[in-house]
Amino acid sequence: MRFIIFLLFMVGGVGVLALLPAYPGKAQSSGAGNTSDLPDYGPAPELTNRAWLNTELPLRLADLRGQVVLLEMWTYGCYNCVNTLPSIRAWHDLYSDEGLVVIGNHYPEFSYEADFGNVRVALERLEVTWPVAQDNDGAVWSSYNNRYWPTIYLIDKRGHLRYRHIGEGAYATTEAHIQDLLREAYTPEAEATAEPLRSLRVTEVDSVNVRAGAGTDTAIVGSIEPGESFVIEGEQAGWYAIRYNGQPGYVFGDLVSVTG
C-alpha cells in the first residue's frame, strides 16, 4: 500500500488541502543492523544531470555508496527554498566530514532561472558551496515524482530513499534523521560502482567560452568556470560537445581537462 500525504496550505487566508504523490516504491523494513527507524522506500532514482556547479566531477548516487546524501529539489528564485539554505549550510558544515553529501537539484520555475550564468551568480550570492546540478528538463525532478519547491530527500549509504520533507520547517527532525543515517552500518557491495562518466572541467584558465558549434566562428552561448563540470556528449574536430542550458554547446578541447 502506497503512502498518501496531505498538506494544508494557506492561500489568501483560506486553507487548501493538497494531495501529494506517494514516495516512489513500497516501504519496506530498514533491515537488520540498521540504527534508524526510518522506512526503506527502495533504491533512489539515479542522478542523470549533465551540467554541475561547485564540483569538478558530475556526481552519481552509485559512486556515493557509504555516504548519506541530502538531495534538495530547489530553484534560486523560490523564497521558501532560500529559507532552507541556512539549515542546509549548517548541516553541510557539521556533517560533511562524517559522510554527508549535500546536493542541490536546481529545477527552474521561470525561464531566467534556467540560465546557467544566472545560477552561477545566485549560488555565489546565496553562499551555496555544495554541488548543484542543473535540471532544466526536469528529468531528475520527474524521476522522484516531485511536485513542490523545496523538497528534501535523505538517501542512505546503500542508495535507498529513506525520508522526504516538503517545504520549510522540520529542521530538528531532518537533522535527527541525518544523524541516524550517518550512524547506520554499511557493507560495500561489489555492484555498487557506476560506469565512469567522461566529463570536462576548466583548470588552467579563469573561463572558457561555450559556443553554438564546433568552431571559433560560431556564436558564444555561455562560459565554463573552475569548479563546474559537464558530461561530454561527443567530439567533433577537436571540440567537445556538452549540454549547456539544455541545448548543444561546444568547448575547445585544448582549454579543458577531461576525466573518465
Position 3 scores a pLDDT of 35
Determine the pLDDT at residue 19.
Answer: 38
Enter the pTM of the model.
Answer: 0.86
Domain ranges of the chain: 22-192, 199-259
Give residues with Cβ within 8 angstroms of 33, minimum separation 6: 184, 185
For residues 4 and 73, the model is more confident at 73
Average pLDDT over residues 243-255: 94
Alpha-carbon torsion (121, 125, 127, 128), positive or negative: negative
Give residue 54's pLDDT. Answer: 98
CA distances from 90 to 19, 70, 129, 191, 218 (A): 31, 13, 11, 33, 44
Whole-Å CA distances, 180 to 82, 195, 230: 26, 30, 33
104-130 burial, b for 16+ CB within 10 Å, e for fewer? bbbbbeeeebbbbebbbebbeeeebeb
Place of cell 557539521: 94
Look up residue 130 and give its DSSP letter. Answer: S
Mean pLDDT of 84-98: 98
What whole-number distance in Å separates Cα of residue 140 and Cα of residue 151? 13
Is the pLDDT at 20 greater than 70? The verdict is no
State yes or no: pLDDT of 15 exceeds 50: no
- Which pLDDT tens digit goes with each residue over 125-163? 999 999 999 999 999 999 999 999 999 999 999 999 999
How far apart are alpha carbons 160 and 87 in whole angstroms?
A: 23
For the cut 50, the answer to whether the pLDDT of residue 25 exceeds it is no
219 secondary structure, DSSP code: P
- pLDDT for residue 34: 55
Q: Which residue's C-alpha cell is 588552467?
A: 204
* Confidence bin at 188 (pLDDT 50/70/90): confident
Which of residues 48 and 3 earns the better pLDDT score? 48
Closest C-alpha to 120, from 197, 247, 229, 253: 229
Architecture of domain 22-192: 3-Layer(aba) Sandwich (3.40)
* Strand stretches in 60-173, DSSP E: 68-74, 100-106, 132-134, 151-155, 161-166
The beta strands (E) that lie in 75-170 are given as 100-106, 132-134, 151-155, 161-166
Q: Is the per-residue pLDDT at 2 higher than 70?
A: no
pLDDT band at 260; cut points 50, 70, 90? confident
Closest CA to 147 of 75, 82, 73: 73
Looking at domain 199-259, its CATH architecture is Roll (2.30)
